[in-house]
Amino acid sequence: MVVKHLGLNYVGDSSVVINKSLRQVNGMQKEINSGNKDYTGTKPTRSKNVKANNSCSKERSLQCLPCLSAFTLAELSSIERLSVHKKCCKNDYLFWESDEVKNVFIIETGAIKLFKTSEEGREIIIRIMKGGDYFCCAPLYADRKNMVNAIAIEDTSLIIIPADSFHEMIYAGLSPIGIKIMSTLCDRVKHLSNIIENLTFKDVVRRVIMVLLNEANEKDPEQNIVTLSLTHQDIASMIGTVREVVSRTMSRLRKSNMVFGSTSREFKVNKQLLIKAMK
């Protein structure tokens, strides 16, 4: 009798052949169960190389995001180690305006609405952030307070980097001069954010008072009475209105003694009265 099994030819008693074949199969099964061999009888190849490839694929997926496209794989590896991936549902809030900045966000997929609200509940949308966008960097280097509110307007996948870790990573790659320049730029962003809020939510009188206060504080933060050299046209251009409206407003402020000592080129302001009028 000839039996062909597992690539070998056996001649002889069939029971002997079968028993020998079963012992061979059982031995192979034990090797498989112990993990020493795979189903082809060879040792498994999954090792450090596979883990390295997975890590590399994660970094390359980060590099596909527009905001990270200029980063090297080594830099992306640092970001990957610091970050966590999170999914949020539609209408989930990420943070509120004036909250302390705790994280920097990068959007993988989905959309986040950044917006401001007035005391009366009016809303202005600053921007709709989508895949590849990032936010919360500017306030981190200004006063560490969020400038806007953030809410998911659809199911969204995020990469979240803790603010302190992000801060350390940036400091490690910048010179002291670079850090100062970046902080100044972030302060400018905050200033522009405040201008948007003032133009949207405040009436002309409050916008004029805000400009006068800002200019007075910049010129002399210590003194209450400060002399300013601004024309009505200058103020109108700062608050987005026309000169005639500013002239009428300044007349009202003079009657309340917030503005006085006017000449053709300059006038004086009382900061305490201006602050009181803003409340």
- pLDDT bracket for residue 33 (50, 70, 90): low
Architecture of domain 55-192: Sandwich (2.60)
- Upper half-sphere CA count for residue 134 (Cβ side, 13 Å): 19
Of all residues in the chain, what percent are helix, strand and coil, respectively (each to 5)? 50, 25, 30
Q: 146-188 pLDDT, tens per residue?
A: 999 999 999 999 999 888 888 887 777 778 888 888 888 888 8
Domain ranges of the chain: 2-34, 55-192, 202-278
Architecture of domain 202-278: Orthogonal Bundle (1.10)
Question: The sheet that has 93-95: what strands, in order across it?
Answer: 93-95, 149-152, 111-117, 123-130
Q: What is the DSSP string of 65-94?
A: SGGGTTS-HHHHHHHHHH-EEEEE-TT-EE
In the block, residue with structure tokens 């917030």: 258
* Residue scoring higher pLDDT (204 or 8): 204
Q: 91-107 pLDDT, tens per residue?
A: 999 999 989 999 989 89
Instruction: Give the whole-angstrom CA distance, residue 99 versus residue 210.
Output: 23
Q: Residue 48 pLDDT > 50, yes or no?
A: no
The pLDDT, as a whole number, for residue 121 is 82
In this prediction the pTM is: 0.60
**pLDDT more than 70, % of the chain:** 75
Q: 106-148 pLDDT, tens per residue?
A: 899 999 999 998 877 888 899 999 988 889 888 877 788 899 9
Instruction: Give the whole-angstrom CA distance, residue 235 versus residue 259.
Output: 14
Q: What is the DSSP string of 121-140?
A: S-EEEEEEEETT-EESHHHH
CATH topology identical between 55-192 and 202-278: no
